[in-house]
Structure 1
Amino acid sequence: MKLPNNIEGLIKAQNDLDTTTFATYFTEHATVSDEGSSYSGREEIKGWIQEATEKYNMQLTPIDFHQNDTKGKLTVEVSGTFPGSPAVMNYHLELEDVLISSLKITD
């Protein structure tokens, strides 16, 4: 499956456990919704992914990706040290150019 460079980079940063690079794929005022919590801005997003990575040691395997204009849906298998691993998750994305302005994670 051919992924856009920004999505491929986001997955690589996660799999490399590189939370600093992961956060650079988001706009300065981006929002993330995950497990009933919301995070706003690149610094909060970096904190969120750093905490989740340290807690769960997550790895992403892309399953599917569709993009229509500024909206995208990335389906990934997420594995790590959490109950029910691996799990299939959907990343609902809103994009501004090549950066992510909104990410909502659902199962």
Structure 2
Amino acid sequence: MNLPATITNYLAAHTARDLEAATQWYAADAVVTDDGTTYHGRDEIRAWLGRAASEYTYTSELVAARQVDATTYVATHHLEGNFPGGSVDLDFTFSLDEDLITRLVIAAE
């Protein structure tokens, strides 16, 4: 399945650790939930992206993608790296409005 350009562009920027490019794909009032913590708005999301990019070294591979409804998509990534456990499959559940991400929830499969 092809993901919308908003998501593929965001994921490419995230993988490249380009914080400015990644952050531009979020709505001003977007919300991200990752590892039990919720971040509100672009400033908190940018700070979260910066910490997440520097905390561990890992590789990420998109292994599956599906559309849930008209505005919700799930992109499943397999990560391997120096984080606890060393390997995990994560669902990135995106909610979109127009061409922006309004919500992202990252959770283990």
User: Normalized against structure 2, the TM-score is what?
Assistant: 0.87
Deviations 1:16-42 (A, max 9, x none): 111111111110000001111100001
Q: Which runs of 4+ in 1 moved over 6 A?
A: none
1:9 is paired with a residue of what secondary structure?
Answer: helix
SS in 2 for 1:105: strand
Counterpart residue identity of residue 74, structure 1: A
Please identify, of 4-13 and 89-98, the stretch whose mean Cα deviation from structure 2 is larger.
4-13
- Give the counterpart letter for 2:3 in structure 1: L
> Structure 1-normalised TM-score?
0.89
RMSD (Å) for aligned C-alpha atoms: 1.5
Is 2:100 the partner of 1:99?
yes
Kindly report which structure 2 residues correspond to 1:1-107, keeping only aligned pairs within 5 A, or say none.
2-67=2-67, 68-107=69-108
Contact 1:11-1:60 within 8 A present in 2 as well: no
Runs (5+) with no aligned partner, structure 2: none
Give the AA of the match of 2:86: S
* Identity, % of aligned positions: 28
Question: How far does the alpha carbon of each residue in 1:47-99 deviate from its partner, in whole angstroms, 9 at most, with x for none?
Answer: 00101101113443211111220111111112333122331100111110121
Partners of 2:59 and 2:100 in 1: CA distance: 21
For structure 1, the 5+ residue unaligned runs are: none
Corresponding pairs, count: 107
CA distance in 1, matches of 2:96, 2:57: 26
The one-letter code matched in structure 1 to 2:106 is I
- For residue 54 of structure 1, give the secondary structure of its aligned residue in structure 2: helix
